[in-house]
């Protein structure tokens, strides 16, 4: 290549950066939304993580092009909002499928629900972009220091999204690495937050090379180091796994599980003429050959479509499928027998061989509009789930103990998606040795949703150093060990059972299981310190 050709090639990134940065009006919003949707392709189930590079580099150039002054801050925020809208619309489109289960009543709301959810969640990226713009103007940040500021602001946005209005930490960016256990291992030390942080840094860092002044040997080395952060994390994860027990070898030999996935379509699940047949199907799967040796049979969320606690005859019938000394754990709605028209809970029950309920957990973290309607009197909307009454929240996370079983933390449906919030508070009970997640992803059909839900479960296993046992009506039922490795699974839309031993918890508790989301704050503080170092020396 001649010197002239090299000069042209070197100038090309600068030209693209200038063009993107100079976009205004609807062209800017459309380009930002495109980059946001492109970034969503890195999420489960596609895992096209290389697309994060053009997505974040492109939108970062747009952010750098926002002018100084009040109008520049507004432009930066709108760019972030458009990026977020495209990202969440592409990543969460499947939420709309739930409105088609009862299309006659709710189908009209599908486009409004998806668009409204995407636009609302996009306020967090809008805040991220505005923070970054403000740091650039006030602190005179540029190059790698501005990239780090952008990553820190992104992490602040994800943290706020996980907390405000009960929180919705679905598809945190670190989830893009959930296709394999090795890149997830860093979550044991910093949670999914640390994975999100290094992902944004690596995806955005090449943007600084648009500035020819940054293409010195030192500048190239710094960018290469930042881009390679996920590869370094992957190498660390491979090293950690090499020191771990072989997959499936470290188990609680006396605990033999049977997970049941009946794959009942959501449209048929609560039909009065199908309830008994659905129950028989799950009983038949439970009684498949080898059931006599099982010590715990697990059914999914609301697998029993009746008020089990108020149905002694039904409990006696279900006791027939419980092997001697074993238990059946199942989801079911629950009411207070003394006030059957009062509160109703989405519950988990443990049933013994005599038909007695020996443990109960009421779901604490409810799904807005799915299990209850916020501002129902004002909005005039009904919830999507069966029945006219809103579900009530339980008293909080708890640890359950059953004879012959290690203590466990029950989690119903999307309670598994909350980092650092999958166990009862320290000191309230003995620490659990495993996590039990009952769910029903049949609401979302053959879409990305069940895969994203499953990815969150794998991350919680690594963070807490605890195995996750996951039973879905439809979705992905699985046995996941404390390193996020899948021991066995039933795929989406498949019907069947899993017979497996309960994996042991990790030999040593993970730093994240001790410190929880305090590590999130430490990561932000450390990044801020590095920003000021980078501002001065890079």
**Catalytic residue numbers, as ranges:** 301, 363, 413
Measured distance CA(119)–CA(234) in Å, rounded: 33
Contact status, residue 460 vs residue 475, Cβ threshold 8 Å: no
The DSSP line for 52-104 is: HHHHHHHHHHHHHTSPSSHHHHHHHHHHHHHHHHHHHHHHSGGGGGGGGTTHH
Measured distance CA(252)–CA(466) in Å, rounded: 13
Q: Tell me which residue of 145, 154, 165, 132 sits closest to 65, measured CA to CA.
A: 132
Measured distance CA(90)–CA(34) in Å, rounded: 10
Beta strand extents in 251-396 (DSSP E only) = 251-261, 296-298, 327-336, 339-351, 357-362
* 359-377 per-residue burial string, b: 16 or more CB within 10 A, e: under 16: bbbbbbbbbebbbbbeeee
User: Cβ–Cβ contacts within 10 Å for residue 136, how many?
Assistant: 21
Structure tokens belonging to residue 527: 């990044």
352-358: long-range pairs with CB below 8 Å, 24+: 352/319, 352/322, 352/327, 353/319, 353/322, 353/323, 353/324, 353/325, 353/326, 353/327, 354/319, 355/312, 355/315, 355/316, 355/317, 355/318, 355/319, 356/315, 357/308, 357/309, 357/315, 358/327, 358/402
Question: Three-state SS for 496?
Answer: strand
Structure tokens belonging to residue 137: 């103007």
Measured distance CA(527)–CA(538) in Å, rounded: 15
Residue-level length of the chain: 538
């Amino acid at each position: 290549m001649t010197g002239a050709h090299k000069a042209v090639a070197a100038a090309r990134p600068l030209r693209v950066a200038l063009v993107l940065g100079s976009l205004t009006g609807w062209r800017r919003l459309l380009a930002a939304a495109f980059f946001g949707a492109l970034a969503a392709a890195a999420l489960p189930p596609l895992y096209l993580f290389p697309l994060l590079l053009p997505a974040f580099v492109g939108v970062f150039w747009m952010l750098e092009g926002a002018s100084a002054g009040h109008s520049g801050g507004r432009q930066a925020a709108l760019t972030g909002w458009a990026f977020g809208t495209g990202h969440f619309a592409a990543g969460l489109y499947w939420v709309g499928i739930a409105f088609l289960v009862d299309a006659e009543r709710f189908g009209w709301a599908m486009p409004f629900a998806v668009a409204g959810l995407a636009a609302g969640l996009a306020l967090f990226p809008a805040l991220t972009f505005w923070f970054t713009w403000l740091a650039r103007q006030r602190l005179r940040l540029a190059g790698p220091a501005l990239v780090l500021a952008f990553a820190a602001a992104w992490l602040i946005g994800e943290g706020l999204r996980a907390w405000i209005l009960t929180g919705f930490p679905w598809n945190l960016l670190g989830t893009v690495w959930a296709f394999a256990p090795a890149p997830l291992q860093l979550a044991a030390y910093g949670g999914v937050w640390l994975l999100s942080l290094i992902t944004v840094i690596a995806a955005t860092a090449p943007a600084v090379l648009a500035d020819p002044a940054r293409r010195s040997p030192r500048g190239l080395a710094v960018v290469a180091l930042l881009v390679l952060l996920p590869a370094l994390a992957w190498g660390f994860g491979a090293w950690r796994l090499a020191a771990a027990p072989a997959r499936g070898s470290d188990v609680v030999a006396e605990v033999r599980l049977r997970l049941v996935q009946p794959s009942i379509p959501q449209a048929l699940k609560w039909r009065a003429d199908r309830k008994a047949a659905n129950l028989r199907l799950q009983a038949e799967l439970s009684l498949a050959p080898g059931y006599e040796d099982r010590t715990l049979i697990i059914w999914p969320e609301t697998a029993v479509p009746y008020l089990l606690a108020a149905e002694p005859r039904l409990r006696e019938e279900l006791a027939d499928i419980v092997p001697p000394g074993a238990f059946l754990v199942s989801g079911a709605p629950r009411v207070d027998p003394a006030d059957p028209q009062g509160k109703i809970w989405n519950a988990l029950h443990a049933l013994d061989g005599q038909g007695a309920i020996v443990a109960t957990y009421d779901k604490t973290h409810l799904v807005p509009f799915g299990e209850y309607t916020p501002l129902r009197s004002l909005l005039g909307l009904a919830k999507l789930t069966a029945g006219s009454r809103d579900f009530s929240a339980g008293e909080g996370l708890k640890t359950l103990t059953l004879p012959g079983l290690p203590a466990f933390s029950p989690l119903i449906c999307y309670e598994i998606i909350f980092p650092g919030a999958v166990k009862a508070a320290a000191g309230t009970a003995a620490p659990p040795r495993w996590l039990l997640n009952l769910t029903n992803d049949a609401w979302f059909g053959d879409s990305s949703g069940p895969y994203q839900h499953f990815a969150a479960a794998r991350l919680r296993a690594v963070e807490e150093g605890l195995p996750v046992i996951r039973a879905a009506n439809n979705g992905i039922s699985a046995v996941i060990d404390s390193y996020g490795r899948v021991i066995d699974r039933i795929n989406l839309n498949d019907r069947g059972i899993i017979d497996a031993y309960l994996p042991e918890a990790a030999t040593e508790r993970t730093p994240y299981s001790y410190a929880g989301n305090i590590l999130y704050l430490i990561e932000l503080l450390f990044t801020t310190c590095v920003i000021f170092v980078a501002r001065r020396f890079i």
